[in-house]
C-alpha cells in the first residue's frame, strides 16, 4: 500500500511540473527568441563582470605582494643593521677584554718582580 501512494505522489509531482512549465510558457512576457537573447546578454554581462572582478583581484594580489616584498626588505635591512651593530659591540668588548688582560699581566708581572725583589732583599739581609 505504501508503494502505491509514493508512486502516485511522484506521478502528481510530475504532472504539476508539466502544468507549471506549460503555464510558464503560456504566460511568458516575451517570445522565446527574446528570452533567449536576454539570457545570452545577461550571461555575457555576468562573464564580463566576473572578468573585471578577476582582474581587480589580480591587481590587489599584486599590490599585496609588492607591499609584502617591501616590508620583508625593510625587516632584512633592520636585521642587517642589528647584526652590524652587534659585531661592532662585540669587537669593542674584545678590545676592552684584551686591554684588561694586558693590564692584569702587567700587574702580575710587577707583583712577581716586587716579590722577587723582596725575597732577594730578605735573603741578602739574612746572609749578612
**Other C-beta atoms lying within 10 Å of the C-beta of residue 106:** 10
Q: List CB contacts of 38: < 8 A, sequence separation 6 or more.
A: 30
**pLDDT, tens digit (0-9, with 9 covering 90-100), for 58-101:** 999 999 999 999 999 999 999 999 999 999 999 999 999 999 99
Top-confidence residue, 10 or 125? 10
In the prediction, which pLDDT does 7 show? 60
**pLDDT, tens digit (0-9, with 9 covering 90-100), for 2-56:** 455 556 777 788 888 888 877 776 676 777 778 777 777 878 888 888 889 899 9
pTM: 0.45
Amino acid at each position: 500500500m505504501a508503494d502505491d501512494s509514493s508512486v502516485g505522489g511522484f506521478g502528481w509531482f510530475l504532472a504539476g511540473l508539466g502544468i507549471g512549465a506549460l503555464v510558464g510558457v503560456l504566460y511568458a512576457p516575451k517570445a522565446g527568441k527574446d528570452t533567449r537573447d536576454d539570457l545570452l546578454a545577461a550571461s555575457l554581462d555576468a562573464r564580463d563582470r566576473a572578468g573585471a572582478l578577476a582582474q581587480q583581484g589580480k591587481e590587489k594580489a599584486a599590490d599585496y605582494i609588492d607591499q609584502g616584498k617591501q616590508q620583508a626588505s625593510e625587516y632584512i635591512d633592520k636585521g642587517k643593521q642589528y647584526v652590524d651593530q652587534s659585531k661592532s659591540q662585540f669587537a669593542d668588548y674584545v678590545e676592552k677584554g684584551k686591554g684588561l688582560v694586558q693590564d692584569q699581566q702587567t700587574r702580575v708581572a710587577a707583583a712577581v718582580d716586587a716579590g722577587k725583589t723582596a725575597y732577594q732583599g730578605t735573603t741578602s739581609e739574612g746572609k749578612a
